[in-house]
Structure 1
Amino acid sequence: MRAFVYEKERELDARQFADYLDPATTAVISIDMHRGHLDDSPECPCPAPRARDVVAPIDAFHDEVRALGGRIVHVKSTLRPDGVDDIRGIPSAWRRTFPLHIGAIPNADAHAIEGSPWTEWVTRVEPGDMRVENKRRLSAFYPTDLDFLLRNQRITTVVLDGGFTDCCVLNTAFDANNHNYRVIVLRDLVRGTDPQLEAAALTMVSLHLGLVMESQDLLTQWRGAAQTSPFSL
């Protein structure tokens, strides 16, 4: 099997990672692929323009996962309309620190407001997919019911795609690891703030949290495993 360790491509013995590659105990977690990050508009409240080019590849990957009978969980950020869990309470740290790097974000207060266009999915969500729609901070586990959803289906491995690699994906990978899930991050289906931070985040995952793989390499492993252990409870 092929994986990346410290950004270097390596051939690994799949038998050593059989527990990571079992499709029967796996779910794909797709993070924050909504208009609040991806809209091509000056009004976009928390722009992640580098992630726009993975929308179609993520949709294609998800279609292949569905064809294998796999489970997909779409996670997105939403905040109460009155702002009590963010800008009118204790604001998220990024609202003060991220603009130090990219400059003022004119419409930042509108980010993730429940019921607004900014929380509309950009990647395709099918009726059989699962959704977690109350992510308030950086990790998909906090303060959502994602852990309950996964444990109730006996999921032990999570595969992450979406954005930002160095922010919400990395935070989710750390939380998943701390909750004792096996972690795979799809190198070709995540995007970071910039190439340097993206590489740094993937390097940290590869050293401390789990496997960094390309989506087609993972699908190859799953197709082989599915012959004896299909994606089913």
Structure 2
Amino acid sequence: MGAQGIVHGPLGRNCLHLCVDMQRLFGPGYPWVVPWLEKVVPVIELLCAAHPERTVFTRFIPAARAGEGRGTWGRYYRRWASSTLEQIGADAVRLVPALERFCPPAQVVDKHVYSPWMEGGLDALLAQTQVEAIVLTGGETDVCVLATALGAIDRGYRVILATDALCSSSDTTHDALMDLYSTRFSEQVEVASVQEVLEHWQ
């Protein structure tokens, strides 16, 4: 494993908490349930409560109906017709209640693919700020968090992954990705607990 913890200095007013896809559609009763989601919500709440005005939530918006989407997304939504808006309803894309209560002042950016950088909404939001560092929480570690982290790295942001505030439906790939983040991206990614983030974010 690479270096652990906050190793590149304190976090200040140019830090942002970016919480990825903590939505009802990944909770109990839905086809895409992420078993750890409920476990990490209270930890994410701590970070939101400390810095609600510096928090942005992303939401993954599925296709309206089976087969919709560009290229392979059409095949994806034929396979996952049960998770289209037609089947799960619009309320499913809402944030889980414990986190939705932080909006406002927290803001929301919607996306239709894994990465929140592809459709321009997040870039436009951050262009109005002096953000230099991004603390990442949410799910899934090995899908949407991965896409979010790589996009942030490419844009030159300092990325801090909150280890106890990330979740996945696969333990194996979660562990593999945490190892990847801390070994292959050690100059651009820091891996720390929410408690350590809070101690360093003044």
In the aligned structure 1, how far is the partner of 2:195 from the partner of 2:5?
15
Partner residue, 2:199: 220
Does the C-alpha gap of structure 1 residues 91 and 213 become closer, same or farther in structure 2, counting only changes over 3 Å? same
Does the C-alpha gap of structure 1 residues 111 and 164 become closer, same or farther in structure 2, counting only changes over 3 Å? farther
Deviates more, 1:194-203 or 1:183-192: 194-203
Indicate if the aligned counterparts of 2:5 and 2:192 stay in contact, CA closer than 8 A: no
- The alignment status of 1:24 with 2:38, answered yes or no, reads no
* TM-superposed deviation, 1:109: 3.0
Does the C-alpha gap of structure 1 residues 212 and 22 become closer, same or farther in structure 2, counting only changes over 3 Å? same
- The alignment status of 1:154 with 2:130, answered yes or no, reads yes
Please list every run of 5 or more consecutive structure 1 residues that lacks an aligned counterpart in the other structure.
Answer: 97-103, 227-233
In the aligned structure 2, how far is the partner of 1:131 from the partner of 1:88?
22
In the aligned structure 2, how far is the partner of 1:162 from the partner of 1:61?
12
Please list every run of 5 or more consecutive structure 2 residues that lacks an aligned counterpart in the other structure.
Answer: none
The 5 A counterparts of 1:6-155 are 6=2, 10=4, 14=7, 17-18=8-9, 21-38=10-27, 40-41=28-29, 44-66=30-52, 71-79=54-62, 81=64, 87-92=68-73, 95=76, 107-110=82-85, 116-122=90-96, 123-125=98-100, 126=102, 127-133=104-110, 135-155=111-131
In the aligned structure 2, how far is the partner of 1:189 from the partner of 1:93?
31
Residue identity in the other structure for 2:117:
F
In the aligned structure 2, how far is the partner of 1:94 from the partner of 1:159?
33
Q: TM-score, normalised by structure 2?
A: 0.84
Partner residue, 2:160: 184
* TM-superposed deviation, 1:108: 2.7
* TM-superposed deviation, 1:82: 5.8
In the aligned structure 1, how far is the partner of 2:49 from the partner of 2:65?
37
* TM-superposed deviation, 1:62: 1.1
SS of 2:190 mapped into structure 1: strand
* TM-superposed deviation, 1:26: 0.7
In the aligned structure 2, how far is the partner of 1:160 from the partner of 1:137?
18
* TM-superposed deviation, 1:77: 1.1
Does the C-alpha gap of structure 1 residues 173 and 212 become closer, same or farther in structure 2, counting only changes over 3 Å? same
* TM-superposed deviation, 1:45: 3.6
Identity, % of aligned pairs? 23
Indicate if the aligned counterparts of 1:112 and 1:118 stay in contact, CA closer than 8 A: no
In the aligned structure 1, how far is the partner of 2:161 from the partner of 2:44?
13
Residue identity in the other structure for 1:116:
A
Partner residue, 1:166: 142
* TM-superposed deviation, 1:216: 0.2
* Length, aligned pairs only: 196
Deviations 1:165-211 (A, max 9, x none): 01100111011001111111100000123222111111221131411
Does the C-alpha gap of structure 1 residues 154 and 168 become closer, same or farther in structure 2, counting only changes over 3 Å? same
In the aligned structure 2, how far is the partner of 1:27 from the partner of 1:219?
12
